[in-house]
Amino acid sequence: MTQSHSPMSNGQTHWQPAHAVQLPTALADWLTDTGSLTLKLQQTSQQQFYVDLLETGWQKPLAEEALKLAQGVEELAYCREVILRDGTLPRVYARTIVSRDSYQKLQAQLPIDSLGNRSLGEMLFNDSVMVRGPLEVARLHSGQALFELVRQRGMLPDANVTLWARRSCFYAADNRLLITELFLPSWDE
């Protein structure tokens, strides 16, 4: 596990319910689907779908993540970052954040630190205890913390693109984890 710091804490994203936003036609079904994104990608991939683990470990969450998880910005949270790929084509950047308290309580049920290149979505949607909260969507631009994070990970060749993202919390009793999924520019291809 690594310990690092978030690249930015300003440039907050404006998250909204999907019904309140004009969504791009090509992504509307993807942004609003409440089922497993992993399963949907597996079913629609032109090549072989796989999960590419970028980083996992303890770090300070982005301010908007800390707010959503009701934890302090300076408190470390467990973070898992992956790219969901269709062959070599990066389709989705996914970031999971879990507060320390929830991580410790969920670890026996969801051992996310030992997933490696396996899908967290498969575990979440096969666990009857986990309940998904409402989906929120956002349009991301240069300067926003999440956009800059993805750019620092080398996923954006052009800083002038617009990204669409969705996020939701998954709950088991009072414990929660936040999953944010950014649809990468390859959706235009």
Per-residue pLDDT tens digits for 103-133: 988 887 778 888 888 888 877 887 778 899 9
CA distance 55 to 7: 14
d(CA 46, CA 11): 35
Q: What angle do CA 88, 50, 163 make, to 5 degrees?
A: 65
Q: Do the Cβ atoms of 124 and 106 come closer than 8 Å?
A: no
- Domain boundaries along the sequence of the chain: 2-6+48-188
pLDDT digits (tens, 9 = 90+) for 40-95: 998 988 888 999 999 999 999 999 999 999 999 899 999 999 999 999 899 999 99
Q: For 2-6+48-188, which CATH class?
A: alpha beta
Overall pTM > 0.75: yes
